[in-house]
Amino acid sequence: MTIVAEKPTRSARKPKGEGHARRAEILEAAERIFVECGYEGATIRKIAEDVGVSSTALYMHFRDKSEILLEICRQAFDTLFALNSEVLATELPPLAKARRMTSDYMRFGLENPNAYRLVFCTRPQEASHGAEDVAQELGGRLFDRFTATVAAAYEAGQIRLQPKVAAQTLWAGAHGLVALMITKPYFDWADREQLTETMLDTLFEGLAKA
């Protein structure tokens, strides 16, 4: 008796419908492919094959890959704005709010590494198809919120540095750790929670007014 080995099957084409779910699948696949192949190397065909739909079906959700990248950026900032709004609605002191906002930012990056890399680590020439403008506009508004919270902490006598310097220092420290952990996954990192809390302690204790 001859046994014929089954050939590995590619992703089966999926049925029509389920618009929101399909859109989310496309964005998830695109995040990964943009990171792996770069913007120029990513194609609609690659993204469609990864999702298991035809290129024609994908075009029903997005006009082109630049629109996909734009949507990834918008969704990332929508999430960060929502997290900030939750913090700002609390009765926490300004410095505690700033720490929560920084912690949420770091957690978002570590839990969504592909989206984070596309939004915060992409070279300008790779984001020149409209995403750069969105990132600058929404990122600027997000950072203005954060700076205002740091400024409130300064006015309350909780930190010793001017708000602009303090806010940029906090962001640079948080981003540095997140970017390293995402882009160097092979490194023997310590416990993620311990690392992020230690970074937060170091940054905020260093800025606190004695």
pLDDT digits (tens, 9 = 90+) for 83-115: 999 999 999 999 999 999 999 999 999 999 999
Cα–Cα distance measured from residue 1 to residue 133, given in angstroms and rounded to the nearest whole number: 64
Q: What is the token pair recorded at 145?
A: 């919120």
**Listed residue (20, 77, 25) closest to 49, CA to CA:** 25
Mean pLDDT of the region 151-175: 96
Per-residue pLDDT tens digits for 181-195: 999 999 999 999 999
- Residue 135: Cβ-neighbour burial (10 angstroms; 0-12, 13-18, 19+): buried
pLDDT at residue 80 greater than cutoff 60: yes
Mean pLDDT of the region 117-128: 69
